[in-house]
Amino acid sequence: MAKYVPKGVIQTPDLVGRAYEMDMQRFGLARQLAEEEAKKQAQAAAMVSKEKKEYIRNPELRRITQEAWDARTSAGYAYAMNPSPSGLAQYNQANDLYLNTAGQAKALDDKEWSTITSYRAGRPTDYPYTEAEVSSLYGIYNQSLRGLNPVTFNQIAVEPFILPKTDDVDILTPNVVAEKVVGDVIDLFESDPAYRNENGTLNKQKAFSYISDRLGKEVEIAPERTGVWGALNQKMIPVEDRGRYNTFTEDQQSEFQKSWIDATNSLITPRIAGLMDKEDAKKTGSGWPSLYAGLRADERAIGQEAFGPQIPEVGKYEGKLDAFSGNIYKLPTQAFIKGDEYIITEFGRDARGNVVVRKQKEVAVPTAFGTSVMEYEDFGWYRANTEDLNLMKNRMKGFYDDYIGSESVSSQEPTKKAVLD
């Protein structure tokens, strides 16, 4: 007799149902991983997007970083849909590549931004480059980044974009020399009569001749420092390898030096020409004699005053002064103020504020050859009277007020009329 077996105690395996459950678990796991990865991606994408907009400004560095991010995202999706040890390894590798790429790109971008910001905020003499040269160097730097992918970007040592300062490069920059030359030319206009024409206008030919000679001497004094600048400006040598300049022939180095002269002259000439045109229009056009522009006073002691500052004026009531101290302007020959009986060759103010003048007279002295030369008989120093001041005002025109002022001259009158010795 068969043994009775209770119903339901022994169950046959449901292979079809079990397979379905396993598929659902696998699908659920995949979906869970995909959702988690999507969340991570959304968070990371927001972070990278912010970095791209605010921190990675260089377009090539931003492109390389984006490629690394895209590769990481793709590996993450592949692993989420088919989790496996190999898929996880590929994801981790892509993630590490992105992190390294983003970190290096950000460091290079920050250095680049710092360099450009310092250049724009600096003085013209801080860097040996013009804006056009900086733009060119920046373009060359970006060109070196093109074609790099994240892998090669991490394999090679990418140098940051930097601009050596003037103090770091042993060169003589045109803008530094131009400032000095312009200042020296202005001083010559003010102090040397040879740099003015007979009518008082500035002598352009004399000025430009001085500039040409001066730049030539600068090259003679510093041939390599000027030549290296010319070679750098023409992109014939790299900034980091200035020693290569010595491999050029003398003719080539001369061309580099000429390039420096041309660049420096181009900074000087417009400023000097503009200065001349401005003064010609202001002084000559208004009828002002420019010979009196920019006179400089020298503090001097006249006569016995040289032996002690406390010696009082002598003979002031007669107008003639034997001893005094004051600020004195010495006139160039063509600017002498001529009257009927004497000429004024110097003027100024004494320590008490009185206007003083030096009076002389032209005398023709015969020579052994039957000709004559003009010499000057010195009458000495006087407190200026009304006649002296009117004579100066008529000749100096608008410059009279610059040096003398428009106040009354009654206090200048001596109690007795001065008689020339």
User: Do 274 and 346 reside in the same domain of the chain?
Assistant: no
pLDDT at position 215 is 94
Task: Write down the H helix ranges in 147-249.
Answer: 150-155, 174-191, 204-221, 223-233
Among 47-51, 65-69, 142-146, the range scoring the smallest mean pLDDT is 47-51
User: Do 285 and 249 reside in the same domain of the chain?
Assistant: yes
CB 338 within 8 A of CB 346: no
Residues pairing with 202 in the sheet: 196
- What is the average pLDDT across 148-152? 91
Is the predicted pLDDT of residue 376 greater than 90, yes or no? no
Residue type, position 45, single letter: A
Is the predicted pLDDT of residue 211 greater than 90, yes or no? yes
Could you report the per-residue pLDDT of 302-343, keeping only the tens digit for each? Answer: 875 444 444 444 444 357 888 888 899 988 887 888 888 899
User: Do 271 and 312 reside in the same domain of the chain?
Assistant: no
The whole domain housing 129 covers: 23-155
Asked which of 123, 155, 187 is the last residue of a domain, the reply is: 155
Q: Is residue 18 in a domain? A: no
pLDDT band for position 120 (cuts 50, 70, 90): confident
d(CA 326, CA 347): 10
- Split into its structural domains, the chain has a count of 3
Q: Is residue 280 in a domain? A: yes
User: Do 264 and 368 reside in the same domain of the chain?
Assistant: no
User: Do 29 and 149 reside in the same domain of the chain?
Assistant: yes
Q: Angle at which helices 204-221 and 174-191 pack, to 10 degrees?
A: 140
Asked which of 246, 272, 292 is the last residue of a domain, the reply is: 292
Q: Is residue 240 in a domain? A: yes
User: Do 213 and 262 reside in the same domain of the chain?
Assistant: yes
Could you report the per-residue pLDDT of 236-277, keeping only the tens digit for each? Answer: 877 667 778 888 899 999 999 999 999 899 889 888 888 777
% of the chain beyond a pLDDT of 90: 17
User: Do 31 and 139 reside in the same domain of the chain?
Assistant: yes
Q: Is residue 59 in a domain? A: yes
Q: Is residue 344 in a domain? A: yes
User: Do 148 and 180 reside in the same domain of the chain?
Assistant: no
Q: Is residue 307 in a domain? A: yes
CA atoms within 13 A on the CB side of 125: 7
Residue appearing with tokens 């200042």: 183
User: Do 261 and 346 reside in the same domain of the chain?
Assistant: no
Q: Please provide the distance, in angstroms rounded to a whole number, between the alpha carbons at the two ends of the chain.
A: 174
Closest to 325 (Cα-Cα) out of 311, 315, 343? 311
Q: Is residue 164 in a domain? A: no
Residue appearing with tokens 């030539």: 216
User: Do 42 and 142 reside in the same domain of the chain?
Assistant: yes
Q: Is residue 14 in a domain? A: no
User: Do 210 and 282 reside in the same domain of the chain?
Assistant: yes
Residue appearing with tokens 């043994």: 3
Asked which of 155, 189, 209 is the last residue of a domain, the reply is: 155
User: Do 140 and 51 reside in the same domain of the chain?
Assistant: yes
CB 69 within 8 A of CB 98: yes
